[in-house]
A and B are shown apart, each in its own frame.
Chain A
Amino acid sequence: MSTLTPGLGAAAPAPAERTLLQDFVSLTKPRIISLLLVTTAVPMYVAGDPSIGTVLLVMLGGYLMAGGANAVNMYHDRDIDDVMARTKLRPIPSGRMHARVVLAFGVGIATAATWMLATFVNVLTGALALAGFYFYVFIYTRWLKRSSPQNIVIGGAAGAFPPLVGWAAVTNGLDLTAAYLFLIVFYWTPPHFWALALNKQRDYGNAKVPMAPLVWGERETMDQMWWYTILLVALTALPVAFGAFGVTYLVSALVLGAVLLHGVHRVRTAEDFVKPAWWVYGYSLLYLALIFVAMVVDKHLPRALGF
């Protein structure tokens, strides 16, 4: 499993009073992982009725794997973290931690997560989580991030592994519905991160990260955000057609999607895109969480009501 936020993390607070423990926790980017845990745990309840023990085990394994990927990402990106305002207070660029300690920590907790998931859940779950880790570290961080404006398009696949992990933990397999959960996160990633990239162009420019707004221009990036959002909303409706979800989910997906489309439309049409782009960035986080929650409600509400 990997992170939902290729190459990006929340700004670290001032380092003055931080303890070593706080620094280790910050290496895992806990705020970012919270959404990732939603997209891991919720598919478990869509796939079946897991025990609370299994859910907690998968959440812990998922946290350690994504946290390990984030720590290795901080090791690899320590040179550009130093020049970006948003990241220069992280433990390595601020000099509070040695880079090799961070690398060992990241690899260590990812190894522990693989062992834990493969031993106590099932091998497929451990393998999928590890595949997400490798994808994030090697495909996204080491290869695409600094070489292609489509870095977060392909890199989005790393963040799409968690639903597969959650699904496999319950079913010990994958099916078409699981593929849709993967695709929903995959196609959600470009509009979400390009909304951020539009407002952080100077940072990315300083770090020489070729984000789409810098290479393609703002207009082309906004156009692609629009088409990716239409594709995303269409994909969220399709599982209803083959019976994976019902009307409750469909109505939720269409309403949530219409709001997201409206937000992206405002980014394209506003004279100043800064506020609409921040709005899309924030709302898209809520959107993804609510889409997944709607799946569980749709699956379990009829039974809870006795239908």
Chain B
Amino acid sequence: MPAPLVAALFWIAVVAASVAQVMILRSTARVLRTAAPKRPALEWGFAIVPALALVAVLILSWRATMRPPALRMDVRPVPGEIRL
């Protein structure tokens, strides 16, 4: 795929995922206020840990997307050639 298209795809997906994750956290905040759970800190943890994991994966994805492609060479071996 052309590089500008890849970049656009990446950023559209990142924005969509980030907005969705923020909305999930907002919804969690709302239900924690109204439902008054026994262990609110734990419930927050259950919402925040996946969000942190998502951020980590998005950063790794950004690094992988920006990495220049490896040079590939497809040279057929000469008969009898020994390659190390």
Contact = CB atoms under 8 A, between A and B. Distances in A.
Interface of A: 148-150, 153-154, 176, 179-180, 183, 186, 215-217, 220, 223-224, 227-228, 230-231, 233-235, 237-238, 240-243, 246-247, 250
Contacts, number: 98
B9 A153 contact: no
Given A150-B43, A224-B27, A234 B20 contact: yes
A246 B13 CA distance: 15
B23 A227 contact: yes
Contact of A230 (B16, B47, B69): B16
B31 to A, nearest CB: 4
Among B13, B19, B30, the one with the most A-chain Cβ atoms within 10 Å of its Cβ is B13
A148 B46 contact: yes
A185 to B, nearest CB: 13
Contact of A227 (B7, B13, B20, B35): B20
Contact of B50 (A186, A237, A238): A186
Nearest to A187: B50
B42 interface: yes
Interface of B: 1, 6-7, 9-10, 12-14, 16-17, 19-21, 23-24, 27-28, 30-31, 35, 37, 42-43, 46-47, 49-50, 53-54, 57-58, 60-61, 64-65, 67, 69
B20 A241 contact: no
Instruction: List the 4 closest A-B pairs by CB distance, nearest first.
Output: A242-B64, A241-B10, A231-B20, A234-B16
Given A227-B27, A234-B13, 17 more contacts: A148-B42, A148-B46, A153-B50, A176-B61, A176-B64, A183-B54, A223-B23, A224-B24, A227-B20, A227-B24, A228-B24, A233-B16, A234-B14, A238-B14, A238-B61, A240-B6, A246-B1
A176 B60 contact: yes
Contacts of B67: 242
